[in-house]
Amino acid sequence: MNKGKKLYEGKAKIIYEGPEKGTGIQHFKDDTTEFNNLKKSTVEGKGVLNNRISEHILNNINQIGIKTHLIKRLNMREQLIKLVEIIPLEFIVRNIATGSLTKRLGIADGTVLSKPLIEYSYKNDELGDPLIAKEHIIEFNWAKESELNLINEYCLRINDFMQGMFRGVGIKLVDFKLEFGRSENNGEEEILLADEISPDTCRLWDVISEKKLDKDRFRKNLGNVVQAYQEVARRLGIIHEDSNISEVKFGKPQVVDLKK
């Protein structure tokens, strides 16, 4: 499918104009960044996996009655999407305390929350996506109160659905980030889930070992980043048991001491 001009390039994705008015092509890169671009790397195969995982999750969310920007996956790295007016907010949903929540408030890492906690950040790289209150959103017109109420409801439904989906494959959904946008449908404004849902935007821990299967492997230099993303895709049944998306790299040959 022919891509139009580049509309936006982010840390992990590029959006191009799509074939028809109001559509776009979302391209998943292998690049990964942390601390607002201070730490950068390329994780070979990550874009391919995130494309597939996000397609799977957004299609399922659509089936529970929440509209998303995804029209269809086009190929290994690209999706056809509806272009929406992105609401400049990140909606963070937490089930277990970790990450910035524990740093900010001194809560013990791993504390299970009594109910899901929704936090809001203002999407602004220069300011480091600061945490904000609902009052800031209303005061600065980033979203209307009615939109916010609807999005909060969507966040909780998506959390319930995703917690169940991941639990079923032995993964705890610790927290995740969602983005939403506005679109017009027959003259009526509607809210669509946008962006992506993948191990780049969620924290996922193995139920038994608590092994991290998400972007924290990169953030905390734990290694095996693409293998963790592959594990998530395999458990969700998206990729075949023995598929290996990353390039096979052979280490230096080692001398084996047969006497040991």
**Interaction residues for ligand 5GP, span 188-217 (CB under 6 A):** 200-203, 215
Q: How far is CA 205 from the centre of its chain?
A: 15
Nearer to ligand 5GP, 68 or 95 (CB): 95
Shortest distance, position 229 Cβ to ligand 5GP, whole Å: 13
Distance CA 177, CA 91 (A): 5
In the complex, least distance from residue 260 CB atom to ligand 5GP, rounded to whole angstroms? 43
Q: Which residue is nearest to ligand 5GP (CB)?
A: 99
Q: Does 159 bind ligand 5GP (CB under 6 A)?
A: no
Q: Between 22 and 130, whose beta carbon lies closer to ligand 5GP? A: 130
Q: Which two tokens stand for residue 62?
A: 């659509």
- Compute the distance between CA of residue 135 and CA of residue 119 in angstroms, rounded to an integer: 12
Between 51 and 201, CB nearer to ligand 5GP: 201
**82 vs 203, beta carbon nearer ligand 5GP:** 203
Q: DSSP letters of 78-115?
A: EEEEE--EE-SEEEEEEEE--HHHHHHH-PPTTPEEEE
User: How far apart are CB 201 and ligand 5GP at their closest, in Å?
Assistant: 4
Sign of CA dihedral 201, 207, 210, 212: negative
Binding map of ligand 5GP across residues 61-100, x = CB under 6 A, - = no contact = -----------------------------x-x------xx
Residue whose CB is less far from ligand 5GP, 18 or 193: 193
**Which residues of the shown chain bind ligand 5GP in the complex (CB under 6 A)?**
90, 92, 99-101, 129, 175-177, 200-203, 215
